[in-house]
Structure 1
């Protein structure tokens, strides 16, 4: 089975690096983006099995990224895990097609558990499979 691919869209380099290292240690292929524009470029290059998304990023924020991703062939039906340091934004995420919302700071082991669950294959050719 091919390695699962995760797109990490996070403007804080330290958090992005932590996520990349932890995910790669678990066998995931990680694509990184510093903002929503870079995230859309990465999304167009490879269909991820999951997007880990910060909402407040420069250039294009996470909200705008989600709306744009819904119109991309590689963005349809991809689960999104939102990370945010602003709890007041959690209510707003109810209007977005996200599967999970976690607050920053986060426990990396808890996050990895959610990643494993969200990327688990749902059967042959199921939602968890990447088609790049």
Structure 2
């Protein structure tokens, strides 16, 4: 089962993404800020990180910089999410994709499937 780490300080967004991704067959781990996200990364080594840019404690850009400094975490693909324009920054930081909030959930699922692979539900449906 593919694991997705969702790091966002907006609980409503975390809940929607967690429910959606779980329904698609992914295992979902959540964190409410970058510091907590780094802890979850070290514990679980997810297949993909969905990362909000603007958060308290440690923001998304700083979390991503710290990830890239750690050889064991640096290869995990990251999708940066933000209501503010951040496409260029996300590219400079090495993100695999950028989604501007509010984003279409279908686009999110397509992006997750492309970067992490399909969830278990999709694998069963194709068998």
Q: Mean alpha-carbon deviation: is it higher for 30-39 or for 66-75? A: 66-75
> 1:74 offset after TM fit, Å?
4.2
Asked if residue 31 in structure 1 is aligned to residue 7 in structure 2, the reply is no
Which residue of 2 is the match for residue 85 of structure 1?
83
Q: Is the 8 A contact 1:37 1:60 kept in 2?
A: yes
> 1:70 offset after TM fit, Å?
1.6
Structure 1: which 5+ runs fail to align?
122-132
> Which aligned runs of 4 or more in structure 1 are off by greater than 6 angstroms?
none
Q: Is the 8 A contact 1:81 1:101 kept in 2?
A: yes
Whose helix proportion is higher, 1 or 2? 2
> Would you say how many aligned residue pairs link Structure 1 and Structure 2?
118
Which residue of 2 is the match for residue 48 of structure 1?
46
Offset from partner CA, 1:28-77 (integer Å, 9 cap, x none): 11110100000000001010100000010000001110111123354121
Which residue of 1 is the match for residue 66 of structure 2?
68
Q: Is the 8 A contact 1:48 1:74 kept in 2?
A: no
CA–CA separation in structure 2 for the residues paired with 1:42 and 1:15: 18
Asked if residue 117 in structure 1 is aligned to residue 103 in structure 2, the reply is no
CA–CA separation in structure 1 for the residues paired with 2:91 and 2:40: 25
TM-score normalised to the size of structure 1?
0.85
> 1:92 offset after TM fit, Å?
1.8
